[in-house]
Chains A and B, each alone.
Chain A
Amino acid sequence: MQNPMLEMIEAMQKMTQRLNKGQEVLQKSNQIDIGTAEKEEVWKMDKMRLFRYKRNEESPYKTPILISYALINRYYMMDLQPDRSLIRKLIDLGADVYILDTGYPTRNERFLSLDDYVNVYINKAVDFIRKSRNIDKINLMGICQGGTLSVIYSAIYPEKIKNLVTLVTPIDFSNKDGLLFKWAEDLDVDAIVEGFGGLIPGTFLDAGFQMLKPMLKPRKQKNLIDMLDDEAKMMNFLRMEKWINDLPDQAGEAYRQFIKDLYQQNKLVKGELVIGNHRIDLKKINMPLLTIYASEDHLVPPPTTRPLNDLVGSTDKELYEFPGGHIGVFTGARSQKELSPTIAQWLKDRD
């Protein structure tokens, strides 16, 4: 066994060298570019903005895709950097892509409910695309919580959706394998909404996410020290950090209903969920459905996502298991190689 004093000296030596290198690299990293795929704002309502990604030539697809992202975190994670971008890949494969940016709610938006998000914002965005493109139906792709909203939307307005794609989307909240699903049982949501004055801080939700992998931070810190002399790796790391730390607050009313009706009472699966004037019946979803879930997802475990396939009225439906975690679906190398082409081809076959 090595002399412990030598080991100490070695450890100190390595640490100081790397820390020093790290401060140099960080000093150079003034600009952390993220979400750089070119796009233009085509529609706006309150704080919602609809973007259309630019293409060099006309899309071979007749039906455009609207991406509905989660209200938590920001949509640009799907375009983290040019070589890790589900959106760029879809565009390269010919897709015509729109995305709905739900922005950063402030206290002014504290009363926004799920009804507003589904029946107003998503609905108006869908109508805008249909009208401007002179088409009856569009493709809807929902991510995580945005997937839940997309499913709800498709059950209310099946006549407007040609194909539905969900990625890592929680549907059956009865499974308590996921810690978030377990903890939700013991939360007094009304006290939370009231206590935070109707606007749930993104950092509050993030504290819960961090606990799902409690040692991720020390691991990350150690890995960071190991990668300090690799600028490319550092930039990858910094982009991801930027996204992780960009945490919009949540409109209290929408949060209240999402936790109470879904996490605590599982009303969507039971057919008891009411959004605005609509009782949500998943059997009304009759369009082709592609349900994508991640086998190692610790945020939205597979047992919460897969049941959608059996609950809808669609006859053309497919389950796709992605080997990886919740974020890897969008940023992993496999996502670029396999997932994006699968989605593009699936939509093309049904265009």
Chain B
Amino acid sequence: MDSTKNFFDAWVNTQNKIVDNLVDTSKKLKENLSNNEVVGKAVEMYYQWLEKQKGTLQEIAQHLSQQPNNTQISSVLSNWLEAQTQFGQQWLQSIQQIAGNNTPQNFSKMQETWNAITNQFMNQFGKPIQDLSYTPGNLTKDVFQTMIDGSRTYMKMFELWQPIYKFLQSNTLGMESLGKMVDMGKYQEILAGLFQNTVPFAQGNLSEQMQKMMAMMQGGLSNLGNINPTQIPQQIAKMMDYLRPSSLNTGMEMLNNLGGQATERFNKMFAPYYTMIPASKEKEMLQLAIQVYEHYSKYTIKAVEMQNIVITTGQKSMENVVKNLIIKVREKAQNITFDEFYNTWIDSIERDMIALFASTIYSKLQGELINISLAMKTKTDKLMELVLSPLPIVPRSEVDEINATIYELKKKVRELEDKLEEKENTTIQTTQVNTTNNTANTQAETETQTPPAVRAIKNGKQEVASPKTRKTNSKTNNK
């Protein structure tokens, strides 16, 4: 058994013990909360928990210290142990806090503490698996990640649920209070997490790539004579920063105007230089860089528009969920559990998002975003080819030309092979027909000498032929 396997087994066992300990203590805490006896027992529970936790952590530390030569393990392990310890401390504090302050007045403080420890737990849980590369198979790792992500969404929604729960309890609060009670910033984070693969919530990476690309270009621009080569990419990067939306409160119109003005200003600033620069690789690169920048500006604006309609839909969805739950509570005097809230929210937001996705405005916006981002990618690829051109690297466009030639050649070879095969079949058939005719002549000559039954058997055998042969025969006959 290898050391990583040992580590993993030990880790799973330890995690099991820690979770058992947590669950056990939680149960006790729950029982005591129900009986209002938690204050008296908190200290006892604290020490019991602490002792068990220490024992478990010491056990794994001892076990793993015997593992040979694995620096990766020790680094991950020490981080993990530290996280566990921090989590333990926070958890213990929260027990004390909950135990000492289990009154409605301190509810928000308790929930704040609780949220902090759940977040802490979700962040450190599974860290060794995510950090280490030995996890068996990417799929397992992906599914594990999915599990963790899903749990995070679930727990984050739990945070949002707490004020909603309070809201539902109150008959006096109106819908306008909901916005104040629910942390919409957090809700937006959840939405961004859910739709990050489909809606461009994070342009950070793109911006970073662009900055890097501009930095790379500096070398290529150094031959531009009168223009200070360091200023152009900086200017572009600065403008990118300037255009990057910091919040959704920024109006679309303003952004559009800003984008237009910036592009115009940029073009005006550099227009005189275009005419001065002779046609060259450098000029082409400069023009491409400006085009990329223009696309990026447009992309950013469209992305914000997209985020805006998705988040607005998500917020409306949440309002509707709460409205429906209020009606349910009032009419049926039913208890609403978190699971019920979560499931209602998922159903509601799915319905609303599908309606949004089916709208023409969304479809057009999505089309524009895809088109702009790919146009930007095409220009960037071209730019990169020019930047890399002094190096002994075959650019993609040349590889594509080779691929196109190979494709055409393959096609021609296939056509020739088909023709050859057809010709061969025809030749075989012709030979067969000639042989048959010769045989027929010979037969005719010797017919009187051959008995009729033998002739029938011979003819019957000749009827068996492949479909291709039959077809060729028929073609030959038609001709």
Q: Which residues of A contact B (CB under 8 A)?
A: 1-13, 15-17, 19-20, 22-24, 26-27, 29-30, 32, 46, 107-108, 110-112, 120, 130-131, 134-136, 179, 182-183, 185-188, 191-192, 194-198, 207, 210-215, 217-222, 224-225, 228, 237-238, 241-242, 245
Contact = CB atoms under 8 A, between A and B. Distances in A.
Nearest to A196: B374
B102 A5 contact: yes
B142 A214 contact: no
Nearest to A193: B374
A12 B26 contact: yes
B180 interface: no
Contacts of A194: 374, 378
Interface residues of B, number: 87
Contacts of B381: 197
Contact of A241 (B142, B370, B371): B142
A135 B165 CA distance: 71
A192 B377 CA distance: 10
Contact of A224 (B33, B114, B143, B368): B143
A23 B194 contact: no
Nearest to B466: A134
Contacts of A245: 139, 142
B350 A214 contact: yes
B364 A186 contact: yes
Contacts, number: 218
A195 B29 contact: no
A186 B363 contact: yes
Contacts of B136: 27, 29-30
Contacts of B27: 13
Contacts of B414: 120
A254 to B, nearest CB: 12
Given A30-B137, A182-B363, A9 B466 contact: no
Nearest to B373: A195
Interface of A is mostly: helix
B147 A16 contact: no
Nearest to B34: A6
Contact of B19 (A9, A17, A30): A17
A110 B367 CA distance: 23
Interface string B336-357: 1110001000110110011001
Contacts of A217: 146, 150, 194
Most chain B beta carbons < 10 A, residue from A15, A108, A196? A15
Contacts of A183: 357, 363, 366-367
Given A135-B467, A183-B366, A210-B197, A195 B139 contact: no
A192 B370 contact: yes
B162 A110 contact: no
B107 A131 contact: no
Contact of A9 (B30, B350, B358): B30
B19 A20 contact: yes
Nearest to B136: A30
B374 to A, nearest CB: 3
Contacts of A218: 150, 153-154, 194, 346
A186 B365 CA distance: 9
A4 B357 contact: no
Most chain A beta carbons < 10 A, residue from B29, B335, B407? B407
Interface string B75-117: 0000000000000000000000010001000010011001000
B146 A192 contact: no
Given A221-B154, A224-B150, A26 B144 contact: yes
Interface stretch (B45-53, B121-129, B227-235): B121-129
A131 B467 contact: yes
A191 B149 contact: no
A134 B149 CA distance: 56
A32 B19 contact: no
A18 to B, nearest CB: 8
Interface stretch (B248-256, B263-271, B397-405): B397-405
21 contacts: A5-B107, A10-B30, A11-B155, A11-B338, A12-B121, A19-B125, A24-B16, A27-B136, A29-B137, A131-B467, A179-B354, A186-B368, A187-B370, A192-B370, A196-B377, A197-B400, A207-B197, A210-B197, A214-B350, A215-B194, A222-B150
Contacts of B19: 16-17, 19-20
A246 to B, nearest CB: 9
Given A16-B22, A183-B367, 18 more contacts: A1-B335, A4-B162, A6-B33, A7-B338, A8-B158, A9-B29, A10-B30, A15-B151, A19-B19, A20-B19, A32-B137, A111-B403, A187-B371, A188-B370, A192-B371, A195-B374, A213-B354, A237-B143
Contacts of A11: 155, 158, 338
A8 B338 CA distance: 9
B433 to A, nearest CB: 20
A213 B165 CA distance: 28
Nearest to A224: B147
Pick the 4 closest A-B CB pairs, nearest first. Answer: A221-B150, A195-B374, A186-B367, A215-B350
Nearest to B149: A221
B357 A26 contact: no
Contacts of B111: 4-5, 8
Contact of A238 (B143, B353, B407): B143
B140 interface: yes
B202 interface: no
Interface in B23-79: 23, 26-27, 29-30, 33-34
Given A179-B357, A238-B143, A107 B399 contact: yes
